[in-house]
Chain A
């Protein structure tokens, strides 16, 4: 349904009419809602449960941690594991003592002062490995000189020959290398980001648990992701039916907006509830998933990428000596991009002179040359 937004835009364009305006709503509510979210996996790793309070809309989201809770996980056999608070509001398992097992069932219990919370009992479903992740160049058009412009679509294939995993969720972290086109000390850096979208798939409607050419990520040329080298680490999670239903609802309410047929918004609460008063909403979800991982590198030449640094050069410096007050609001860079003898320019943007402002100059361990 989100495409209906397009048609609205389209009609608007026909008629040179409709439009979208930004605004900040005036909300007179004061909610301190508890958010419990976290995941236990079958991996040999520390599992985290985060407990916090939700924040009013319109502010930058930095959760307010809830400290000093007693957090335990109980499995199908009644074994209880205690989690310890590693940093405010973050409760972790000890990887040497606890590791999720496929087909086991887990329940989360939280005691926060006098209030007790509990999750439903969730089953861990097995997950198959990711078959393959691959990309294709997408020709999106031509620039004014007839040069084609390319972007990139990343696909994922997976299948569970045993048909045990019917519901999938994916998320990924992406890292890309970027290089400042100037002679500066910190010119080569890496930047990372996490997917923020709900990516789920229900294969119970097919006669096999099989996902082909699933468009997991589209990389546009608006950022430098395609310029040098790009990498993506995809996590594939198995979901039980309840968790799939949760994500599907959340997705439906949060993504089908901005068109003619917006879904009536409704708050969706997860699988955690307060024991003495189930009417008090508890947000978030206690996930129990097996995980499979796969990394892909994209080291290719995409045509028609824009110049991301055209705004950098401020003024050419003819004076060869040091310049006083530099490095406070202006920086000196050496431009050798034209192949001509390099010349010195002044820039007023620090990110043009130092890549660590946007990324890190520490090469990730998995980054092969």
Chain B
């Protein structure tokens, strides 16, 4: 038998705010007073009149409470468990009755409305109520017979750390309704009055079951206790009903707890590696930075950290994500159904929600693996108001390189570090602010003297204001900066420094309004100012003859107004309709050549030059973006969803390599480069199988993309002043089916995901020079039609768990050389049509084992070991195929990155 120990519940019950009556606030000054004394005082201050028999209230004392509470809440608390009831009329006459409750005639209580006998609330409830749960009364008892729905709302927070719990599931079993808490931990449910069991669950937290007597609308704040080790057997994780209720198609949330369980390649939990297990998400290959969502390129993903975009998502050639998983609470990936508050990228949004930090006490964790080490510390600065979280991570791969036999490798260096810091300050109950900072730095040098460095820096300030518990605003001001520098001083006369940078400052203002029981409005404005330095090439050192060269900076302002409404149309149908209106202004100073349209753009087809002065707006792009999601709940076990969204993107990553390379540059839309436009239609069907233990879903999407960019062969992208001459406009279409079955509860958990998807592109120009494959459709570099992902987790005990995952995918397309010829003594090759062939399929099995030390909570540190084995099958998965001329013929080579099983071990401990 499961024993539910519900220790320490903090809650307070308030009377209706949606109702007509005013409420009277009782301050803690009254606590402990006798009832009689209390009545005397309150009648003196407020137009409230009490009617009762003095005999009944002898010995009745006000309970201890440490903050302001509503009068009705107080009465509810006070009288439950006694034989007394009260009746409240509209004139604030409070009539106490003994052994019976006043019932308003003519409105008989519906039969199904049965209330559980109230229970005395003394602060700590071990076991109570019919099902052994805590019993709570919500709303004014006198309203118990009113018609219509009542609304329960409140905040869910972590008991141990006091952080809000976002994404927790709140479900009323009897009614099969549920919801999910938002990023502030706030939830709201509109249900008929009655008695129910509310179940609150969240991965890594103890499930809460609360018996509720719902008399009227009210607030119920819930604290949840995190399980010390997230693998606890009793944890019920599934957001079972949630998938049926969520509006959007193609939204995936990954909790930090679940991705810590995944096998790793270098002993470290990693966000991007985790999301690659989601159907519809792929990458070019192992060790490639970035990811592709439903046929989108990797620059079409908006990666948000502290609300700010991250311009380079990886460290160390893509083997690590640039965001340390220690600071993450959860990540949400929108593959489709992108809410209108997000914009600026067309394929997906990866929203990384950072942890607030432990609000109760100093805590932290640290870990080491063969390649990296990381540490986090967190805690309150000032009790209950000010909190911090600091994390740092670095690699020490250099010592390994230093041990290499090969001189070239021994002289190579590669390193990175990242630091995250965050301070949250709760000014008062209505205002909360936080400051966050992120600094990441990568540097590498090969045997050559060329040094590569890149930095991602983010600063963010966020202010949340709660007008009421149903009306919040958020203001986010952030700055994101990315640059890289490539320098060489091998030949002093040619020593150079090549740099590129992008700097964006964004202001977001956002309003969330839970209006009534059916609507949740979300509207706001985003303003982003961009400044991009496409490239600067400067001498390094006094003896350098390098002629300084700077490509004109690009400046632009992107603004967006958006509005969305999540509304419940009927019991079965809910909708999320949104509109985002984005406007993009490109500003001078800037100069452009005008070309004769009949010819390819080149120096010989220039007809005119345009100059635009400082702050002169030379190009504006404006358009509405519609977003719509419908969710039709067929029954308790299944639902059907429909989604359409249009997205626009004004910022482009210029890359002519198969995967993002560290020297790729960002470019803003300008006179020639039009914004990318994506339109996606998706349909999804969701069903719970096997008594809601297994969750099954099928999604189909079709996507059209306009104004993708490709390049003429061999184009130099860096320091290219006339890049418009080398751009090729491409359109794309992507479609696919994603099937997912998963069981996320119990000791044995698994998932099976299969995706069939295609992404095809074609050039749109009529000019031969601007066409690829004669303008026919051809697959994109990351077109991998079949993709199968299996995951297994076996939680043997709280201290020991095993997990495995298997990935299969079709080989990506590749272009082969088909003919060879000589120019002088140089052998060159002529290539097939673009991406006509494919590399062999990809198959990989990983295993990992997690062993935790003694779980006694008194121990100062809780250690755990993770042993993992990557690519157990040892398959030499091919990353790329390439060709070199040797011995009078062109020889093909296949390169694999991890061709053998790779063991790794990491040691972590929480303190």
User: Which A residues fall within an 8 A CB radius of B?
Assistant: 1, 3-25, 27, 29, 31, 33, 35, 37, 39, 52, 54-61, 63, 140-141, 171, 194-198, 205-208, 210, 212-214, 248-254, 256-268, 270, 278-279, 281, 283-285
The yes or no answer to B523 lying at the interface (CB within 8 A) is no
Q: Which of B411-460 contact A (CB under 8 A)?
A: 412, 414, 444, 446-448, 450
Known: A37-B823, A54-B821, A61-B889; 6 extra A-B contacts, CB below 8 A, are A6-B447, A10-B412, A55-B820, A212-B491, A268-B713, A284-B823
The yes or no answer to B716 lying at the interface (CB within 8 A) is yes
C-alpha gap A141/B889 in the complex (Å): 32
Q: Which residue of the partner chain, among A3, A39, A253, A281, contacts B714 with CB atoms under 8 Å?
A: A253
C-alpha gap A55/B404 in the complex (Å): 41
| Nearest CB in chain A to that of B445: its residue | A3
The yes or no answer to B774 lying at the interface (CB within 8 A) is yes
- What residues of A have a CB within 8 angstroms of the CB of B287 in the complex? 8, 11, 260
The listed residue with most B CB atoms (<10 A of its CB), out of A194, A258, A270, A285, is A258
- What residues of B have a CB within 8 angstroms of the CB of A213 in the complex? 491, 493
| Nearest CB in chain A to that of B660: its residue | A261
Q: Check A265–B822 contact: CB distance below 8 A.
A: no
Tell me how far the C-beta of A54 lies from the nearest C-beta in chain B, rounded to whole angstroms.
4
Q: Check B832–A29 contact: CB distance below 8 A.
A: yes
Q: Which residue of the partner chain, among A7, A254, A257, contacts B444 with CB atoms under 8 Å?
A: A7
- What residues of A have a CB within 8 angstroms of the CB of B902 in the complex? 15, 17
The yes or no answer to B307 lying at the interface (CB within 8 A) is no
Q: Check B818–A27 contact: CB distance below 8 A.
A: yes
- What residues of B have a CB within 8 angstroms of the CB of A195 in the complex? 825
Binding-face segment, B183-191, B860-868, B893-901: B893-901
Q: Check A208–B545 contact: CB distance below 8 A.
A: yes
**Given A23-B894, A264-B657: A10 in contact with B899 (beta carbons within 8 A):** no
Instruction: Give the 6 A-B residue pairs with the shortest CB-CB distance, closest first.
Output: A249-B714, A266-B713, A261-B661, A257-B882, A3-B446, A54-B819
C-alpha gap A258/B879 in the complex (Å): 9
Q: How many residues of B contact A (CB 8 A)?
A: 88
The yes or no answer to B213 lying at the interface (CB within 8 A) is no
The yes or no answer to B160 lying at the interface (CB within 8 A) is no
Q: Check B657–A262 contact: CB distance below 8 A.
A: yes
The listed residue with most B CB atoms (<10 A of its CB), out of A11, A12, A250, A260, is A260
- What residues of A have a CB within 8 angstroms of the CB of B647 in the complex? none
**Given A18-B895, A249-B715: A9 in contact with B409 (beta carbons within 8 A):** yes
- What residues of B have a CB within 8 angstroms of the CB of A61 in the complex? 820-822, 827, 888-890
**Given A31-B830, A35-B821, A264-B657: A18 in contact with B899 (beta carbons within 8 A):** yes
The yes or no answer to B94 lying at the interface (CB within 8 A) is no
Q: Check B816–A23 contact: CB distance below 8 A.
A: no
- What residues of B have a CB within 8 angstroms of the CB of A7 in the complex? 317, 412, 414, 444, 446
Tell me how far the C-beta of A282 lies from the nearest C-beta in chain B, rounded to whole angstroms.
11
Q: List 17 A-B contacts (CB under 8 A).
A: A1-B657, A11-B317, A14-B400, A18-B899, A20-B893, A54-B830, A57-B820, A210-B545, A212-B493, A252-B716, A256-B657, A257-B883, A259-B895, A265-B817, A266-B714, A267-B713, A268-B713
- What residues of A have a CB within 8 angstroms of the CB of B772 in the complex? 266
C-alpha gap A210/B828 in the complex (Å): 29
The yes or no answer to B20 lying at the interface (CB within 8 A) is no
Q: Check B830–A25 contact: CB distance below 8 A.
A: no
| Nearest CB in chain A to that of B902: its residue | A15
Q: Check A285–B823 contact: CB distance below 8 A.
A: yes
Q: Check B317–A4 contact: CB distance below 8 A.
A: yes
The yes or no answer to B113 lying at the interface (CB within 8 A) is no
- What residues of B have a CB within 8 angstroms of the CB of A214 in the complex? 491
Tell me how far the C-beta of B905 lies from the nearest C-beta in chain A, rounded to whole angstroms.
13
C-alpha gap A213/B493 in the complex (Å): 9
**Given A14-B400, A18-B896, A264-B781: A56 in contact with B825 (beta carbons within 8 A):** no
C-alpha gap A249/B716 in the complex (Å): 8
C-alpha gap A197/B160 in the complex (Å): 66
Q: Check A55–B821 contact: CB distance below 8 A.
A: yes
| Nearest CB in chain A to that of B825: its residue | A194
| Nearest CB in chain A to that of B496: its residue | A205
